[in-house]
Amino acid sequence: MTDARLEIAAGFATLQGPKADNQDFGGVHIGTAAEQREHGVVAVIADGVSGSKAGRMAAELTTRSFIDGYLDQNPLNGIAANGIKALRGFNRWLHSRGRIDPAMEGAATTFTALILRGREATALHVGDSRAWHFRDGVLTRLTEDHTRAQQGLSHVLYRAVGIEADVKLDVRQMRLEPHDRLLLTTDGVHGVLADAVIASLLGRRSSPDADAKAILAEVEAAGARDNATAIVIDVVRTGAPDWEAITAEAEGLAILPDGQVLVAFERDHRIWSYGRDAADRPSPRPRPGHAFANNEGMEGMVGDGAGGWYVAGEGGGFWHCDLTACEARAAPPETPLAGYRPTGLALDAQTGGLLMLERYYEAPIDTRIRVRRIDRNGQVTAELVALRLPATVDNFEGIATTLNADGSQRVYILSDDNFSDRQRTLLLAFDLTAAR
């Protein structure tokens, strides 16, 4: 039996620069074999906000509390959910201390974490520290700075740990391959060095520790203006597929006339078909189905009643598939969709077409949804329902329909609310009295 554990190497370097003290803090928790398998490897970097009291304390406590809190969660909840829950609790404490303790007045810090498990990395981020990915000479930034866009205010944070009673984390997942490099930096690094310089230094391919030190040496040579910290992580080999993460992000379900069950997995970018064995039970292992070139959301899927199925992507694509191929009926737009995006599909019992559920995505948490009638080429034929709910139930994913005895159609819409640690679920039902 092969040892399929993830193996990494990490290096750390920090520079005080011209400041009176160093308010950066970072760490990498490799953990035991069991911790790696269940929770992954955790790397965190934090930069205490200048001008507030106890910036260094905020950065260090945030890093240590996050790692401890994350490892204390049930791994079956998922990496992102556990990370968000771990940081939210500490954020509430830090925010309250900053309001009542004069020694910690206004204490706040940036926070950027990378969690590596199996063959994937998850970035959790708030503030203006950064996470990067380096592969085959190409450097990709994984995070966005939460700073003011106005001229002269680019150093002012509008989101960070401790600023408000609640904290919203940006989340991004990506696949890992052997020889990938990952990098965490505070703004004392990327505020001085251009992306091309950072890429060149990572391309040296010395040890992670040597290259982390080389990055800071370049900062010093270019004229350090702040504390600067870098963590370099090399992926020596990837682990076994993270089945918990893959199967936790099932987005679409369809059943074919022959009994095959089709499931669209957002994380795997693929539709899997589950067959049946001789005892008429679902097969214990999925058979890989159609792979898509990119994520596309894989948000909605429904059978066509004739052995095929339709798929709606979060990015606006629409396909018709059978067991041999998928045909694009509507291509995703060149620019990302703004506002409403597809999250579910259902057969339209009144017209023979389809109903598409869409959720509004511009705000971090938004309660607007709508249902539109589309034809089997993905073209909109009617706007049916638009709702804005008073409750904070923000992740509408499921839609299903039945035909009532009087010819009206009952529509069910389900929210799983996976962006909230309250995990509230809401089922809506309403009747469409006519096919319009």
C-alpha torsion 47→52→56→61, nearest 10: -90
Query: For residue 142, what are the domain limits?
Result: 7-237
Q: Which residues share a beta bridge with 173?
A: 122
* pLDDT at res. 295: 45
Single out the residue of 68, 70, 91 nearest to residue 81, CA to CA.
Answer: 70
| Same-domain pairing of 229 and 247 | no
Token pair listed for 39: 């929770």
Collapsed DSSP state (helix, strand, coil) of residue 429: strand
* pLDDT at res. 316: 77
Task: Tell me, yes or no, whether 391 lies in a domain.
Answer: yes
Q: Sign (positive/negative) of CA torsion 303, 304, 308, 309?
A: negative
| Sheet strands (E) in 238-363 | 250-255, 261-265, 270-274, 287-291, 300-303, 309-312, 318-321, 326-330, 340-347, 354-360
| Same-domain pairing of 380 and 258 | yes
Task: Tell me, yes or no, whether 1 lies in a domain.
Answer: no
Task: Tell me, yes or no, whether 2 lies in a domain.
Answer: no
Q: Which of 237, 271, 291 is the last residue of a domain?
A: 237
- With beta carbons less than 8 A apart as the criterion, state whether 5 and 39 touch: no
First to last CA, the chain: 61
| Same-domain pairing of 77 and 191 | yes
Task: Tell me, yes or no, whether 67 lies in a domain.
Answer: yes
Distance, CA of 434 to CA of 201 (rounded, Å): 65
Distance, CA of 245 to CA of 37 (rounded, Å): 12
Distance, CA of 378 to CA of 376 (rounded, Å): 5
| b (16+ CB within 10 A) / e for 22-40 | bbbbbbbbbbeeeebbbbb
Distance, CA of 57 to CA of 97 (rounded, Å): 12
**CATH number of the structural domain spanning residue 263:** 2.120.10.10
Q: Which of 176, 209, 237 is the last residue of a domain?
A: 237
Task: Tell me, yes or no, whether 323 lies in a domain.
Answer: yes
Distance, CA of 314 to CA of 266 (rounded, Å): 10
The CB density around residue 169, as the number of other CB atoms within 10 Å, is: 20
* pLDDT at res. 119: 87
**CATH number of the structural domain spanning residue 104:** 3.60.40.10
Task: Tell me, yes or no, whether 41 lies in a domain.
Answer: yes
| Same-domain pairing of 77 and 226 | yes
Residue spans of alpha helices (H) in 168-207: 187-190, 195-202
* pLDDT at res. 335: 56
| Same-domain pairing of 179 and 252 | no
pLDDT in tens, the chain (436 residues): 345 689 999 999 999 999 989 999 999 999 998 888 889 999 999 999 976 678 999 999 999 999 999 999 988 788 988 999 999 999 999 999 988 999 898 899 999 999 999 889 999 999 999 999 999 999 999 999 998 877 767 678 999 999 999 999 999 988 899 999 999 999 999 999 999 999 999 999 999 999 999 999 999 999 999 999 999 999 999 987 665 555 555 667 777 777 777 777 665 556 777 766 656 555 545 555 555 544 455 678 888 888 888 888 777 788 888 877 788 888 766 555 567 888 888 888 888 889 998 887 655 456 788 899 999 988 889 988 888 876 555 567 788 888 888 888 888 888 765 544 454 567 788 888 765 5
- With beta carbons less than 8 A apart as the criterion, state whether 130 and 113 touch: no
Single out the residue of 152, 138, 188, 175 nearest to residue 13, CA to CA.
Answer: 188
| Same-domain pairing of 73 and 175 | yes
| Same-domain pairing of 249 and 149 | no
C-alpha torsion 42→48→49→53, nearest 10: 140
| Same-domain pairing of 225 and 273 | no
Distance, CA of 397 to CA of 235 (rounded, Å): 34
* pLDDT at res. 1: 34
Task: Tell me, yes or no, whether 207 lies in a domain.
Answer: yes
Q: Which of 237, 263, 280 is the last residue of a domain?
A: 237
Number of folded domains that form the chain: 2
| Same-domain pairing of 25 and 131 | yes
| Same-domain pairing of 70 and 206 | yes
Classify burial at 130, counting beta carbons within 10 Å of its beta carbon; exposed 0-12, middle 13-18, buried 19 or more.
Answer: buried
| Sheet strands (E) in 214-285 | 228-237, 250-255, 261-265, 270-274
| Same-domain pairing of 306 and 328 | yes
| Same-domain pairing of 224 and 183 | yes
Task: Tell me, yes or no, whether 318 lies in a domain.
Answer: yes
